[in-house]
Structure 1
Amino acid sequence: MTTPRHRPTALFVADADSSLKWAVTRLLEARDRWDCEILVVESAVTPSAAQVDAAVAGRVDPPARIGLTELARRVGPDAADAPDVLVLACRGDLIALLLEDELRGTCRAGVIVAGIPGVWLPPTELGLTLRRGVDLMVVHSHVERDAVERELPRGDLRATGLASLAIEGADAPSDGARSVVFAPQALVPASRADRARLLAALVDLARARPDLTVVIKVRGTPGEAQTHRDDLPYEALLAEVADVPVNLTVATGPMADHLPGAIGFVTVSSTAALEAVAAGVPTLCLADFGVGEETLTTAFLGSGLLGSLDDLRAGGFKRPDPEWMARGYLHPGADDDWIERVEELGTSRHRRESGTRSRASLAVRLRRRRVALGPADPTPLRHASTAIDAWRRARRGLPPAGAGREG
């Protein structure tokens, strides 16, 4: 008589609406091989019920909520049924708060996985630093994998795994498509003047094309928490515009509901541009506000999608370069290997030293690194200060300070 093979258990934990969407996608990929559970951890960016519904989109049952202390008990040194795999679809400061501050390196999960629900190019040092306690980082393109793996020697991360972005598989545009969809972002462009220029171009398009509906597709309604706080929402700016065209509207809901009716899609650098490309919608990524890390547009270099506000006014949407698609964020699904990489980690090493391996606190390790590097490099100390501030704010239920991106 043979002993039944153990079926791994996996706990997926999300904090914000975009992270939940990502976590559900990863769970659906893994559930044929693992017994999966998904939870939302309460934080400063806990999604509302409507945001949960939009992120889940009927793919799984709505997840239960859990507090950080209860989550620490579920995976801590005294947990009798800690998961074999812990997937943390959370902001970096919350991951550091859980693994470094609450658990102090005593997590009993066999393999700890993290992922950022979108484009992460270039990867930020702070983002990697806050995830030092993680075993595997899920990335979403071959280019992103190369960039992250170049940084791995700086931290405790051991591996990367490739996955496709959490794209909902919208239908291709219909013959009767009559809309243009704009996906705003909380971080870029940052200034009121630049946002006013962008909004003016949308207004001009709506006035020039009364046969089209121009949709500003926002992530949530006023008052709902989001991954990044938006202090200059387009809804507020639109209220200052005189004589708004009747065919310029603001809408919420899953992006997949809006793309089938779209003849064009526009953004600065939102991950939703990849969703639009995958659905066959001509797309425009605006370069008027700069191209590169500051505007989060690095991933779109060479895509063939970059254009201007004048292109937007003229309805000049673009088709992507095929080679960029393959190397970038629209690679064939057969390339995905994150589940296999997790299982390799789980079988190549014993369970995390019975859950008692301790790590020095993040601040202490960064101070040690500063000593090793010498006083000429102040970056680690600056990042330690940022991380500690983030932990303190998270403990008090406050959103992250400022609008900076850690990834």
Structure 2
Amino acid sequence: MRDELQRRGFSSRVVVPDTRSALSPQQVRDAGFARVDRLPWDELVGACLSSDVVVSSLAGPSTHRLSRAVATALDARGTGPGPGPVLVSGWVGIIIEKITAGYLDRSGTDVVAVNSTGDLEHFVSTGSTLGIPTDNLVLSGLPFLSADPLPARGGPVTTVLYADQPTVPASAAERSYVYRRLVEHARLHPDREVLLKPRHRPGEDTFHRMSHHPVDLLPAGELPANFRIVHTPITELLPRVDLLVTMSSTACLEALDHGTRVALVLDLGVHERHGNHVFVDSGLLRTFDQIDTGDLGEPSPRFVESWFGRRHSPAPVVIADRVEALLASGHRPARDVWRSAYFRSAVDLHDPPVEHGPRWMTRAWARRIEAHGALWGTVAYGATVLLPPAVVIPVRRLAASRRG
């Protein structure tokens, strides 16, 4: 989105809330960002209000909080300068949990980028039922998928890639089982190269924290020569991969787009905690026994249509077109959502008016005074502003444990 908007003449700035960072500096650089500014929440909201376009890459609850904050600030400003920024939100992959809650968290933005026709139908139904306008929904598709996937490649399988996920499966025992079956597959097929691609390197993190890295679970000295752990980006690996195996990773869609065969692991059952419940109608669920013997499925036409159909332009282009149209018209679809009973109740619940403090005092400062009194509220606010998160967060946890 940044690249597409910059091509259209927008300047951009990347800011994040001043909390614990889930990403290492190397991961930030790998994502193509030379600079990321960390801001206290109130300053971040202020930066949004002074922008023309805000693309929220925050998780659902934080996106909901941001849209509430912007709504409250614009409401307090009244008929001030302009209609406010165009707020954009979406999902970075297949939604395997909280599909309804995730939509409602993002419903207060002007553009909600939707990945599939199945998701779009669900969101329209949910919004209509709850009295939430749905004209902010835009079927963009996932940004890394084309509208016309390559035909499935045939021929022998010589390279197998397992796309690991940070939290699926969750337990060490289940992850060990999957890794063991991959190693056994490599032994069973010595003519194949079997690659295990973790989401990140040991010691790094993502938005979903990984508890059991394959490096910690696999026996280092007992692995076959044709089995390797790799950290090369999947987009670079796929052109030479004949079979992609995963539990429920979005990488399965990237593989289908490249014409690569896909198998979704069925051994642990179909369950929401594995995320494979959304693939029941895909035609791709297979046990390791089936994978070992070459009994692979084919993607169902309806599944392919949901993710690749009804698209005529790349997702960033679709979203940027809608953003420019809203900027030109001055229309902000989120305003109608903000007036809905559902959204207003969230504002009343989470953002009650704070009556303490003079006008120059920030809301965060005033909230701490309201909760802890003038002295300790000011100390708590000053610590948050002046001290790094590495110091503040452990102190908060210690204080909470003592209160408990």
Residue 210 in structure 1 maps to residue 187 in structure 2: no
Unaligned 5+ runs, structure 1: 1-25, 57-61, 369-391, 402-407
**Identity within the alignment, %:** 27
Residue 254 in structure 1 maps to residue 233 in structure 2: yes
Residue 164 in structure 1 maps to residue 141 in structure 2: yes
Matched residues in 1 for 2:154 and 2:137: separation?
38
Matched residues in 2 for 1:168 and 1:141: separation?
11
Deviations 1:107-158 (A, max 9, x none): 6743211011001256534323433532221111111111122222448664
Name which of 141, 148, 151 aligns with 2:126. 151
* Count of residue pairs the alignment pairs up: 335
Q: Return 210-219 or 275-284, whichever deviates more.
A: 210-219
| Residue correspondence of structure 1 range 376-395 to structure 2 within 5 A | none
Matched residues in 1 for 2:62 and 2:393: separation?
11
Q: Between Structure 1 and Structure 2, whose CA radius of gyration is higher?
A: 2
1:274–1:330 CA contact under 8 A, matched in 2: no
Deviation at 1:360, TM superposition (A): 5.6
| Residue correspondence of structure 1 range 288-299 to structure 2 within 5 A | 288-291=267-270, 293-299=272-278
Q: When the two structures are superposed, what TM-score results if normalisation uses the length of structure 1?
A: 0.70
Deviation at 1:91, TM superposition (A): 1.0
Deviations 1:84-111 (A, max 9, x none): x21112212332443435x563267432
Residue 331 in structure 1 maps to residue 309 in structure 2: yes
Kindly provide the amino acid, as one letter, of the partner of residue 44 in structure 1.
Answer: R
2:112 aligned residue: 137
Kindly provide the amino acid, as one letter, of the partner of residue 54 in structure 2.
Answer: L
| Residue correspondence of structure 1 range 54-65 to structure 2 within 5 A | 54-56=30-32, 62-65=33-36
Name which of 60, 85, 90 aligns with 1:92. 60
Bigger proportion of residues as helix: 2
Q: When the two structures are superposed, what TM-score results if normalisation uses the length of structure 2?
A: 0.70
2:346 aligned residue: 362
1:16 aligned residue: none
Name which of 1, 4, 10 aligns with 1:35. 10
SS in 2 for 1:64: coil
Matched residues in 2 for 1:294 and 1:307: separation?
17
Q: Return 158-167 or 40-49, whichever deviates more.
A: 40-49
2:280 aligned residue: 301
1:123–1:147 CA contact under 8 A, matched in 2: no
Residue 232 in structure 1 maps to residue 205 in structure 2: no
Residue 49 in structure 1 maps to residue 17 in structure 2: no
Name which of 254, 270, 281 aligns with 2:260. 281
1:376 aligned residue: none
Q: 1:353 to 1:318 in 2, by over 3 A?
A: closer
2:102 aligned residue: 127
| Residue correspondence of structure 1 range 182-193 to structure 2 within 5 A | 182-193=162-173
Name which of 244, 248, 252 aligns with 1:269. 248
SS in 2 for 1:112: strand
Matched residues in 1 for 2:131 and 2:164: separation?
33
1:164–1:330 CA contact under 8 A, matched in 2: yes
SS in 1 for 2:196: strand
1:17 aligned residue: none
Matched residues in 2 for 1:218 and 1:279: separation?
20
1:318 aligned residue: 297
1:75 aligned residue: 48
Matched residues in 1 for 2:9 and 2:331: separation?
18
SS in 2 for 1:266: strand
2:15–2:44 CA contact under 8 A, matched in 1: no
Deviation at 1:324, TM superposition (A): 1.9
Name which of 220, 229, 233 aligns with 2:200. 220
